């Protein structure tokens, strides 16, 4: 299995990582079956093509690709392997970034509270995963623990950055931008006063509307 479509998706979506943070930090993977395509290490996000993109098995073995994979392979593989892959809805995409506002929150080790209804796409808060060195499977364990604790599809990484999981690259990148925007909103409003949080009832209403949002017939989402 060469994961051609997944490698093409890496080429297509990786440049969006550069828009989130300067430099070459951050990485993106797209999984199919027991393997995933992931951004190569040490090259600009528009500096490779599909044949360069590494394909890595969930056990960490590099199966294809002309370039070396990201140093965060153990984190991506560990998250995909959670409970032996026993996810309610297994993620097909993981985005990791050091985007500035999310990384600021992660450095405060402060979870992102529900200050705006858009958060319900991810959960009722974005939790903070305990610190572990980059490039380790321990980091995956901490991310999984935080996401399970908060019932969220994303986690801030203490003193490091952000991880967002999703069903496909389009959604995961969009949710990454949401979290970054909401962290910016939280930090800006906190500089003036204490931002109000939405109540559980208000969040439940937002969740109902969110589930009906989109292209379904009869939907009147904004
Ligand atoms: Zn990182």
Least confident stretch, 19-33, 54-68, 152-166, 184-198: 19-33
Q: Is the pLDDT at 86 greater than 80, yes or no?
A: no
Catalytic residue among 6, 8, 12, 72: 72
Mean pLDDT of 120-147: 96
Number of helices (H), then strands (E), in the chain:
8, 8
- Taking Cα atoms as reference points, which of 125, 51, 140 lies closest to residue 94? 140
Least confident stretch, 82-91, 122-131, 188-197: 82-91
- Taking Cα atoms as reference points, which of 175, 206, 139 lies closest to residue 13? 175
pLDDT, position 213: 66
Rounded to an integer, what distance in angstroms lies between the CA atom of residue 156 and that of residue 149? 13
Q: Which two tokens stand for residue 178?
A: 């949401």
> Distance, CA 20 to ligand 1 centroid (Å)?
13
Question: Would you call 72 a catalytic residue per the annotation?
Answer: yes
Rounded to 10 deg, the angle between the 4-13 and 169-190 helix axes is 30
Least confident stretch, 85-89, 115-119, 151-155: 85-89
> Distance, CA 103 to ligand 1 centroid (Å)?
10
Task: Name the burial class of residue 84, with classes exposed (0-12), middle (13-18) and buried (19+) by CB atoms within 10 angstroms of its CB.
Answer: exposed
Task: Name the burial class of residue 196, with classes exposed (0-12), middle (13-18) and buried (19+) by CB atoms within 10 angstroms of its CB.
Answer: exposed
Element (H, E) at 204: helix 200-212
Task: Please tell me whether residue 56 adopts helix, strand or coil conformation.
Answer: strand
> Distance, CA 177 to ligand 1 centroid (Å)?
16
Task: Please tell me whether residue 181 adopts helix, strand or coil conformation.
Answer: helix
> Distance, CA 219 to ligand 1 centroid (Å)?
38
Rounded to an integer, what distance in angstroms lies between the CA atom of residue 133 and that of residue 138? 8
Q: Is the pLDDT at 222 greater than 50, yes or no?
A: no
pLDDT band at 214 (very low <50, low <70, confident <90, very high): low
* CB 69 within 8 Å of CB 63: no
Mean pLDDT of 100-113: 98
**Quick one: DSSP state of residue 120?**
G
Q: Is the pLDDT at 32 greater than 90, yes or no?
A: yes
Rounded to an integer, what distance in angstroms lies between the CA atom of residue 144 and that of residue 73? 15
pLDDT, position 91: 85
Kindly state the percentage of the chain with pLDDT values over 70.
Answer: 94
Domains of the chain: 4-212 (3.40.225.10)
Q: Is the pLDDT at 160 greater than 90, yes or no?
A: yes
Rounded to an integer, what distance in angstroms lies between the CA atom of residue 28 and that of residue 94? 6
């Amino acid at each position: 299995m060469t994961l051609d479509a997944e490698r093409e998706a890496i080429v297509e979506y990786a440049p969006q990582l550069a828009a989130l943070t300067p430099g070459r930090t951050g990485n993106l993977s797209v999984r199919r079956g027991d393997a995933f395509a992931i951004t190569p290490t040490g090259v600009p996000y528009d500096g490779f093509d599909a044949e360069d993109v590494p394909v890595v098995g969930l056990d960490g073995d590099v199966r294809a690709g002309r370039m070396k994979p990201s140093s965060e392979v153990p984190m991506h593989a560990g998250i995909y392997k959670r409970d032996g892959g026993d996810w309610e809805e297994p993620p097909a995409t993981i985005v990791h970034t050091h985007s500035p506002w999310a990384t600021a929150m992660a450095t405060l080790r402060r979870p992102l509270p529900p200050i705006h209804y858009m958060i319900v796409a991810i959960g009722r808060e974005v939790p903070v995963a305990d610190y572990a060195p980059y490039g380790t499977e321990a980091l995956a364990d901490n991310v999984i623990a935080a996401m399970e604790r908060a019932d969220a599809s994303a986690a801030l990484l203490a003193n490091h950055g952000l991880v967002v999981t999703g069903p496909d690259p389009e959604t995961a990148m969009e949710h990454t931008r949401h979290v970054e925007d909401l962290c910016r909103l939280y930090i800006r409003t906190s500089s003036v006063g204490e931002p109000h949080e939405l109540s559980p009832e208000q969040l439940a209403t937002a969740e109902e509307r969110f589930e009906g949002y989109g292209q379904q017939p009869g939907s009147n989402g904004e």
